[in-house]
Every structure is written in structure tokens, then in C-alpha cells.
A and B are shown apart, each in its own frame.
Chain A
Amino acid sequence: MSILVYTENWDGKFKKLSFELVSYAAAIAKEMGSSVTALSIGEVADNELNKLGNFGAAKVLNVNDSRYNSFDNRALSMAVASAAQAEDAKVVIFAHTNLGKAIAPRVAIKLDAGLVSGVTELPSNFSPFIVQKKVFTGKSFTNVQVDADVKVLTFSQNSFELVETGGTAEIVAFDPQLGDDIFATSVKETNKVTGKVLLTDAEIVISGGRGMKGPENWAGLEEMADLLKAGLACSRPVSDEGWRPHTEHVGQTGKIIAPNLYFAFGISGAIQHLGGVSSSKVIVAINKDPEAPIFETADYGIVGDVQKVIPQLIEGIKEM
């Protein structure tokens, strides 16, 4: 019996999220008297795989096969399910990323498992198995009871502290033995965002709304983002107006993020906007209107003009 974690790699490297997943899985394994097996699919070098041991993986199943680079949902779910069966996994954990969300439901069906997506905590109970997740786009939480022998979870980023164990993992090659005909997704073009901090990975996010007045005023936010290694975001009208690319749009209909620190510059704080950012640990609002609803959700605020505040913040950050 084991706990299986699917550790996604990005161009052969693991991000903090993968280590967070393994730490989370290790905490569950401890409670269940089990051990953690990490599954890595794609082309990842052994020294990178070894890092998973330091967060509590006892074993790493390594599927080193470039065919999976097309992210074929059917093939990937077959591979994960066969690893889960080989390891007699009672809990299978994915990240709540595009890829995790795409595969976890399929794997749950294959394993006749119960699925809980977007979990934010360790299970509060193991028999019956009960775990908390976000609902109503962060406006509420619910405890979900899983009534199936196998549980599949997708885990929300930034919900669990990394725990370094100093351990090492046994690395084992694994081959799910899928024929070429299974890989039906034919990728014609891939565009990777490079050189910028990805919004969904960023620990600090700097976001601008209509109060920024126009795309020409973003230089200060970009400078702050560079200094803090932060991601850039915006409200929906800003991307609708074409001031910023739509990939930066956060909120209920855009990206849902949960950084440690979220700066809202000239954003009123509409409920649909908050739906995408309210799980941030600390929210800072800069708005000239003291009645702006964003101040009800923010932890720190300045009532003032963004154009006056931004240069001062940049100065302060440089002095830090």
C-alpha cells in the first residue's frame, strides 16, 4: 500500500509545487502508516528526481518517455492509473494545475475512486476519509467525505509548508507499455512563456485595474515585479481593453491564484475579481476611493493615487 503523487515537471525540472505535493503526501502517509511513491512522467534527469527524496518520497517511478510531451490526456491517465495499481495506491495526489485537473478525473474513474479537487488541508479524518476543499470560488470551504477505497485528490498550490526530510528515494524505471496509437494528441505549436515569472507560480503578484488609466502607466508595476521577482496580473476590463495580455487576467473568469502577497493597484474589488485572488495570504490595496470594496478584503491599504504611491514603494523596496 502506498500514497502516489504525480510530480509534474516543467522542461525537466520540478518546481516548488512538486516538492509541496510530496511534503503533503508524506504527511498523509505518516497518518496512514504508508509510504510515498512519486511518479514522474517525461524526461527528467536522475539528480533532479533525487530531490523528491528530500521531501519524503521513498520511491520514484520514472517514466522517461518523450511521447508524453504531447500531454495526451488519455495516455497520461493510463500511465498514472497503471502506476497506482502497481503500487497499490490508496491515495493518488495531483497538483490542481491545468494538467492535474485534466487527468485526475479520468484516473478516478479508472481506479473506481472518489475525487476531491482543490484540497487545501490535510484530511481531518481517515475513516471515514474527510478532507476540506474550497467551493464557491474561494468564498467558502466544505468538508468532503470520500466513500470509496481509493481517493484521488488535486492539491491547491501554496496550501502546505515544505518539509525537508533529508531522505533519499529509490529511483525505479517504470514503463506503462502504451502503444503509439494511444497518443492521439498531435501538437502543432507550443508557446512557452519565458523570462517572466509565471502568474500561477508567483509568490508575489502585482496587479493593476482600470485605476491605472492606461497601458502606458504599467512601467512602475513592471519595475516592481522585476525587483520582487513577482508575477503581473490585471482585472478583467484591463485585459478586455487590451492594455495587458489576457493571460494576466485574474478573477472568476480568469486565472485563480493564491500567492503569499497580492498588490491591487486601482482595482475596485468586485466580487468576480476577488473570486480569483481572495485566497492570497496578504492582500494590499492602493485605491483613491476610501469606500472601494477592495478595502474590506485587504490586509493593508493606502487611500491615494497610484501614480504617487508606486514610485515611493519602488524606492522603499530598493532600500530594503
Chain B
Amino acid sequence: MTMTDAESVAPKVEPTGTSADGTFLRLENVHKRFGKLHVLRGVNMEVAKGEVVCVIGPSGSGKSTLLRCINLLEPPEEGNVILEGKNLCAVDPRADEDEEGVDYVRRRVGIVFQQFNLFPHKTALENVTLGPEKVLGRSSSEVRPEAEALLGRVGLADKINEYPDRLSGGQQQRVAIARALAMDPHVILFDEVTSALDPELVKEVLDVMRELASEGMTMVVVTHEMGFAREVASQVVFMDAGVVVEHGKPADVLENPKEERTKRFLGLVLEH
């Protein structure tokens, strides 16, 4: 995995369309603005198959926006997102949504949200089966045992028929992970998935994520859990003000940061 600091004279990367080196996921010079707010200022990043990339950084640094750009919930305005050889941004910029690209990315990329976003009118099981049944058109007799197995894997075998409002935050988040897994994604994005949880519920969610990582799932994890990043990540990416400031092995970035901004951030979060 290589990453270049984007602030250094925006390297105008050729819009490739395919990644010759077979990189699983590559972001090239990704920009995103919300009105006048320039949230992403040219992010470059590469993720290899099976990697766990933890993205850390102060709030407002663009971490969540970056994740949302990867699965086109927020289509980037500039730059390329190349997933398994297909450039998701190679579309008419005036189009509202590139349905083909969206379809491609949503079938390969799962996402788990900070606020869980479970469907409250569906049981835990129905939350998991809805995608496979309605999007992939599979029969419920086929999908149901798989969904039950997935819920078992996240430790909720006894909760499959509960509605989300009967589940704790940690349980809801584990259902959300099972829901993402049910679509058989090639990579899962985690958007501060433990930030909305009571402290005592954090571990059960992180344990599920550790397990996924150990099984070789490719993961991009935006997190404030430094312990998790140190232990599980293959790469840690530090973002600030819309750019990647520093990246590398967790030991390097977290223990011996080179950049001043990284040092300051780590000083603040590790102090308390």
C-alpha cells in the first residue's frame, strides 16, 4: 500500500479506469466540497485485498466523507475511485447519479454507520434478509438460514426475531454488521461504528470486527479506538483538513509519528 500526500502539488494522476497493478481499491486525488466547505482536498490512498486500514484524525478532517465517497453515497467531484479495476467516477459529471457505477459499488462495498440505521419496522432477521431478497432476488428459503448463521456469527442467535428498538446499541450495531455481510461484500467500510455506543458496549462490536479482520475481510475503518487500530490495522492513515497527512504501519504512525500534526493529535487523544 502506498499513499502520497495530496497537498504536495496535486499530482494529476491519469484517469486510468483500470489499475494495472491490480490494486483492490485506489483513490486518486479525490475532492469533495459541501457548498464552500472544501472537505476533501485531494486524497490518495490504496487498499490491498485483505487489508485492514484504520483512518484516524480529528473531527471534521474528512474521514467519514472519505468513506462515503468510496461507496458513492457522496459522489466525489474530482478524482477517481477505482475498485477492482473499474473507475467509479468515470461518468458524465452532469449526471445526477451514475446508476451503473452505483450498482457496481453497492454490490461490492458494505458500510456500517455510526447511528446503525437499522430498519426499525423490520426484525433483526428481516434487516439481514431484505438486501439479498429484494436486491439480489434470492428466495427467502435460501436466504433465511444464511441470515440466521450470520446473526449467530455476531452473537445474536437468540435475537433474530427482535425489533431494533428492543436491542441495545451494541446489539443493533452487530445486526448492522450482519446486514452488510449478507450482501457478500468485497470490502466493508466502518464509519465510527462505536462512537454512539455506551462504553461498556464498545467491546462486543470491536470483537466482531476483530473476528472479521482475522478471517481476511478487507476493511476500511474510521475510528477513534486507538487500541483497536494498533492491534488490528495493517495500515493506519492519519487525516487532517481533508488530506492524508501520514500513513504507515500502526507502530510507526501511532508510536513514532513523523508529522507535527499527527504528534499533536495523538498527544491529545492518548493523554486522557
Do A and B make up one complex? no
